[in-house]
Amino acid sequence: MSGIGIILTIVFCFAVFSLPRCYAALAFVGAALYITQGQLAEIGGISFTAIRFVEVSAAIRVFAKREIFSIRMTPPDRWFLIFFITYVVTFHIRAGKLDTYNVGIAVDGCLVYFTFRALIQTKEDFILFIQRVAILLIPFSLLMIKESISGKNIFSLMGDVPEVPVWRNGYYRCQGSFRHAITAGTVGATFLSIFFGLILQKKSFLIALLGVAACIIIVITSHSSGPLLAAIVACASWGCWVYREHMKWVRRGIVAAVIGLNLMMTAPVWYIFDRISGVIGGDGWHRSNLIDKFIRNISEWWLFGMPIEKTSDWAATVTKYGSVDVTNYYISTGLGGGLVSIIFLICMFVAFFRYVGLGLKYFREQVPDSKSIEALLWGAGSAICVHAVNLTAVIYFDQVYVIWYLHLAMAVSLANFYLNPLYTHSPNRPPKQ
């Protein structure tokens, strides 16, 4: 670790351990935004990046202060655990040994997710936290602008990111503290829908607009088609806001549209990514071809997955690891854990969307004048939708996983605040009508 990396890591570790819950969560996000993964130390053969030190400090905090025990388990929480356990066990059965890398990913996921579940539990927590996140994102977006104009990334001082970002089609693909422009842009695209929801809150209009502006800047300066598509999905999800009481028909319409596209297109429907990239740019053909090869080779991976080296002939280019570049989280899950892991991943998403839907239904039926509160939960649910689409084009391989699990935890916590009977007598919870 460099001197500045050590100082920042100590500051953020102290902050997540000692500050009030919302500000501790904010410090966690700040560490993900402002420290690169080049800041690491080897402890017992395990690579501890700066964000992992912060992650462990936050986990110790919620146990030491017994905040973790205030969580009441929900169906999404259980499916989250089931998915990770199934994936690790299935991978272990195929490999014949415990893979420390996948165990580490599972541990990271559980620690981050349940830490945020413990730190953000009420509507007030949610609003205060998102308002402060907007403030955190503003200087990050300004640094992205500076990187775009000057061609110099200030975060390169901490290592693991290049001093000069990649130049493509006349633009720098800015990445800030993240390992790739796609994951940097993902931060802006996925927070965008949440700030849209904050706009409807009294006294939050200005800070919400600033948050929206910061997110748009981050997406634009990343100059990546994945985050751009994700931002479009965020806007489209809010386009469904007026139909929120008829989402059953919207979902059926989407299924019908997919079936219709499959009938009209000369290629399978997953080549829609190739068609989209022809309009907005990007490597859509690679994504479509990857899905096509994955489906055609289902006999090799469906039971317990398959060694990734066997994908070397799936595309014209091969990575230094001797495999195709797997830029799809669902395909990565199938290769590592077989068909059952993909099924459980989809079940996990369904559980999250269903729980958010229950919360939205409660607002409409039980809480008078609930439009502003409903918008908050709609924004959080939309963020999960954006991630679900975005993961068809990327694997979260750097500290952006903190943002991914944060959004899952926030959506469940906000819905749970109203659905959980333990809050029935809380003065902050609207009474049933």
Q: Integer distance in angstroms from the first to the last C-alpha of the chain?
A: 56
Distances (CA, A) of 268 to 25, 135, 286, 287, 292: 43, 44, 14, 13, 8
The answer to whether residues 399 and 37 touch, using CB atoms and an 8 Å cutoff, is yes
pTM of the predicted protein model:
0.91
Residue spans per domain, the chain = 75-423
Across the chain, mean pLDDT equals 88
Of the pLDDT bands very low, low, confident and very high (cuts 50, 70, 90), residue 332 is: very high
Q: How far is CA 85 from the centre of its chain?
A: 19
Of the pLDDT bands very low, low, confident and very high (cuts 50, 70, 90), residue 284 is: confident
* pLDDT at residue number 369: 65
Give the mean model confidence (pLDDT) for residues 131-149.
Answer: 96
Percent of the chain topping pLDDT 90: 61
Q: Sign of the CA dihedral 26, 29, 35, 40?
A: positive
Residue 428 has pLDDT above 60, yes or no: no
Of the pLDDT bands very low, low, confident and very high (cuts 50, 70, 90), residue 423 is: very low
Structure tokens at 45: 């053969």
The answer to whether residues 96 and 305 touch, using CB atoms and an 8 Å cutoff, is no
Amino acid at 348: M
The answer to whether residues 261 and 223 touch, using CB atoms and an 8 Å cutoff, is no
How far apart CA 56 and CA 61 sit, in angstroms, is 8
Nearest in space to 24 (alpha carbons), one of 129, 109, 124: 129
Structure tokens at 146: 């500076």
Structure tokens at 387: 């991630």
Cβ neighbours for 266, distance < 8 A, ≥ 6 positions apart: none
Nearest in space to 327 (alpha carbons), one of 300, 299, 291: 291
Angle at which helix 272-280 crosses helix 225-239, to 10 degrees, equals 100
Residue 335 has pLDDT above 90, yes or no: yes
Neighbours of 269 (CB within 10 A): 17
Of the pLDDT bands very low, low, confident and very high (cuts 50, 70, 90), residue 430 is: very low
